[in-house]
Structure 1
Amino acid sequence: MTAGAVAYVDLERLDDNLRRFHRPAAAAGVQVRAHVKGHRTVEIARRQIAAGARGIAVHHAREVERYADAGVRDIVVAHSWEDPWRWELFARLADRCELTVQVASRASALGFGRAAARRSVPIGVLLELPAVGDGPADLPALAREVVDQPWLRLRGITGYARINSAAEAAARHTVGVDHATGLVAAAELLRSHGLPVATVCAGGTPTAGGALVVAGVTEVCAGAYALQDAGLAAIGVCTEEQVAVSVADAAQAAALVAECGYPWQAADDRARWSGERCLPGHVCPVVQRVRALRPTAARPGESEEWAVMASGDQETDVDA
């Protein structure tokens, strides 16, 4: 975290971004899951849910606790953790919300199953498929492993469509279509084995438009769509005028984004000026490194600064 730094949020642009992302999803009959990595605040998560998001996605147990305490019920852990101590942390919180975890290995399926059984709490499971390839070597066997755990509930499958180059960024719609098509095919494979697959979730803001045109996708998960950034504007996901987050100046943007730019950005392309606003090249590292987000005009009852939650979990949390 950069000491004392804040980022600024234009609320009119924020609300416009939510409407612009949620409207085509609703028209396609696809639900939105809001990944909080794109803002790390309770206030924006509440706005996303009010705009139609079915729930949120997080990475860490501390985030589950924070958002559950704020009244968010439907929470997905959007990372397939393989650390046994983390399984215990998530199981501890499973009675405070409708918790779903991602699983990509037999070890994590068994580990989450044991942790859930020790606390007699049900935990939902999404099987995580990689961005490239056919997923786990034997996907039906992994799904069966989940189904056989008394306290685990197989919800479906998920995957994140990574963009690794400028060429892929230019073809982001096709990348989204291809990735979502693979997820739907994997879901059909599981169903052919008699396994329940209610959710087919395609992740990624730049590729969401492609995912929405694929029949069989039930959910898109995205984070950066709420605030947007100059890097997404550069590839046409939004315009610079639609970016809702700004920072003090280019030097601060460079420090906050640092080495965490998008793969399609040049190393020195960490900020763009749009009128009097300095737009960061990548929103996710910015919100991880500032102290707070400062909205242009908060709603009644909202704070004038929105605290961000940037810290992850520690193994010592298990004994806390």
Structure 2
Amino acid sequence: MENQAVDTDTKRVVLESFATLYPWMRSFHTRPVRDYAVRLFDFSGSRSGPEPRLRSFTKLLKAIQRAGRRNGLSSNAVAKICEEFEARPVMQTGPHLLLLIEPEAYYSHVFSLLGLSAHGCTSYVSYAVSTVNLVEKPRKGPGWLKVDGQPVNVFGLSRSQMIPYSLLSGPGSYRFELKTVDASVEGDALERLRNLLPKTQFERPAHALKAANLCLWPKLFGTDFTFLQIDPRTLRISLRTICQTGLLGCGRGCLETRPSLRASSQNWTSWRPGPGAAGFHGAPIFSGSMIMESGYLSDWSPGSSSIRQLA
């Protein structure tokens, strides 16, 4: 209770500081979270646009369709997801790929569902960042979880097996071990969670977490919403397809490439983190480089892109 009081006081000070700088914000302080969620998904943007943008959006829809089929969704469910996403092309991209019960992920999903349900939607596409390390700081990150206030090692990995590696590391053998730091404090909550998670082994941590979230979703959020979680791997496939058709998405804009510069699927495996992500395992997919046909190299980042001929 004491910590909650401190957090409340801190929040009040921050809000008052904002109100001093921007008095018009004061009226928003008492608005319920639902109002913000509804506004977020109240899409009023243009349905038209440049041809490259429309083609890119079509490619994204196809990537969502493939992801839905891979998750075992019916053709009707996949069609409904795409229909609603076309009507409201808004995607929550904040949380990393975490188990649904992790507070950061859980409340992000609750926020999105508040907005979507107010607009009569029944499907939810969530983008989760899987290009992050298993450990972000001591006992914090996708490789760790708190249950009843106790830190839990999700995959039972050693420190050296977690710190340098991302959720896309592999292939390997990953399973939900849920090991507490102190084995004597395991409780009923941890055992219940263990019984809800998949018992199989996975090649990559990201695969394990996405499979676990499919199991946890109906337990936490019911069956009113069709849930589809995608990650950078889904968009990587989409970007590869876009490159093969001559359209390369580059953060703030699009670059039309000549046929001779179109990427080959064989060379896509040469993707590597770009200079802006040096030393970081699992850089964002939109920061990297790719060898293309005819000896060209494509570099891209969120703010720029270039294509040059290799020496």
- For normalisation by structure 2, the TM-score amounts to 0.33
- Greater share of helix: 2
Structure with bigger strand share is 1
* Structure showing greater Rg: 2
Higher relative contact order (CA 8 A, sep 6+): 1
